[in-house]
Amino acid sequence: MLLNTKNHNIYTSKFRFYVLDLTKEELATKEDISSGRVAWAKLFKAKTWGDFMKVLEEYNEFESTVDSIETLSDNEDVISMCRTLEDEKQDMKYYMSLQASKIHELSNSLAEKDATISEQQALINELREQLENKV
């Protein structure tokens, strides 16, 4: 449901989000098993063709899904797009790393300047006090 976390007012209960945690298959309820959620979880967790074939042996209703995956994995255009996306993802990680490094560097520089300003302000206050004491 959609809920205001500050005052706990419910905006609406007309829809809900459900999350399927693929790492918690052992916590599946009877409803999860009967509805096919566990089967889909196993399919999504498959990493090798052997894994796909094991799921297919257990759940033959996935035959067309596995066939589609096989067809797509043999398609050079799809493979090229996947590689391009992976390259872009790696480039973005590198770019974000550089940005984080630059932000850290600028934060340190700003902290040093703040310290210098504080020292100078303290010196100004000290000199001002000395002047007032002489007058």
- Please report the DSSP string for the chain in residue order: -EE-TTT--EEE-S-------TT-GGG--HHHHHHTHHHHHHHHH--SHHHHHHHHHH-GGGHHHHHHHHHHHH-HHHHHHHHHHHHHHHHHHHHHHHHHHHHHHHHHHHHHHHHHHHHHHHHHHHHHHHHHHH-
Mean pLDDT of 23-36: 85
What would the pLDDT profile of 95-130 be if each residue is shown by its tens digit?
999 999 999 999 999 999 999 999 999 999 999 999
Contacts of 28 (CB under 8 A, 6+ apart): 37, 38, 41
What would the pLDDT profile of 45-96 be if each residue is shown by its tens digit?
888 889 888 888 888 888 888 888 888 888 888 889 889 999 999 999 999 9
* Cα–Cα distance, 16 to 11 (Å, whole number): 12
Round to the nearest angstrom and report the end-to-end CA distance of the chain: 72
pTM above 0.85, yes or no: no
Phi and psi based region of residue 4 (left: phi greater than 0; alpha: psi -120 to 50; beta: remaining): beta
Reply yes or no on whether the pLDDT at 33 is more than 80: yes
Reply yes or no on whether the pLDDT at 23 is more than 80: no
Q: pLDDT band at 28, cuts 50/70/90?
A: confident
Reply yes or no on whether the pLDDT at 17 is more than 80: no
